[in-house]
Structure 1
């Protein structure tokens, strides 16, 4: 079964994932902890990592079942077809979210354009290209995931 990306109404990610689970569809809604400030208190809450997106694992022939759930808008498309996310990429997100809040990255004089393999942290063993070097951080492009990573320089 393939993983697909479903676009939901804003702030409906957790509700949609819960309702889809109730009807037997496997979902993944990655959550992160965030401290919210109200006028009288602070509270740690769980918010979706991707606003208005969840991942669903369904058979190709059963894809339209999700539209029975309130809050589902559409599938995310790529090149005219529903975007498919690899199991490996879902696992990378899960591993990344299960890592501690801080981790150590050791940097050995990277140069702009260098192709590197990350040796620690949530993106362990992922290849990246050094896109930019700033005073206190590096900007890396993770081609396999199609995202940009900012890595702080460790001052020793």
Structure 2
């Protein structure tokens, strides 16, 4: 007598659709300037799942208008990986290197699937151009120094440029000491 096996739903060792069994994570790859679309085509050709955040914008020239695909985050493409610790960079001269965690040049920066999904949602639902602001710092933000001889020091951002922050560190009732420090050495509180 043959026994019928009912299909089961849920977690299984060999099934990768279950996010708990095999969570999908993403890493970012730096590309050469203006070659993100070529890298996307290359990754597609070798069967590597990737995501290049793009949007379509109407551009106007003197003689015509055209809908153009514009890359939102220049020089970055996201690649889906099962295990970031065992990632091997594809051999392509247009791919510079993977993005590493700040302060730890050996550990890849892992982007959760939920953040990639949010980015896809924003770009898919937006009727107006979306811009990417890589700067997370604002004037009057409270920050803490996380690296270097001033580690542990807290202060408030007074001014900033591309590389440095100017901090005001309160010193009792007498005022505040001002100092300049590299952005990579601080984090927002």
Same fold, TM-score > 0.5, yes or no? yes
Give every structure 1 segment of 4 or more consecutive aligned residues whose post-TM-superposition deviation is greater than 4 Å: none
Larger RCO (CA under 8 A, 6+ residues apart): 1
TM superposition shift of 1:62: 5.0
DSSP 3-state at the match of 1:14:
helix
1:63 matched to which residue of 2? 87
Q: Which of 2, 16, 19 is residue 39 of structure 2 equivalent to?
A: 16
Matched, 1:77 2:100: yes
Unaligned residue ranges in structure 2 (runs of 5+): 1-23, 129-189
TM-score by length of 1: 0.58
Unaligned residue ranges in structure 1 (runs of 5+): 103-156
RMSD: 1.8
Radius of gyration: which is bigger? 2
TM superposition shift of 1:34: 1.5
Q: Deviations over 1:36-62 (max 9, x none)?
A: 233322211011111111100124365
Q: Deviations over 1:44-102 (max 9, x none)?
A: 10111111111001243652232x12310111122312211000001101111121416
1:44 matched to which residue of 2? 67
1:152 matched to which residue of 2? none
Q: Deviations over 1:93-140 (max 9, x none)?
A: 1111121416xxxxxxxxxxxxxxxxxxxxxxxxxxxxxxxxxxxxxx
Contact 2:27 2:111 in 1 (8 A): yes
Contact 1:20 1:69 in 2 (8 A): no
Matched, 1:98 2:124: yes
TM-score by length of 2: 0.49
Aligned residues: 101
Matched, 1:87 2:110: no
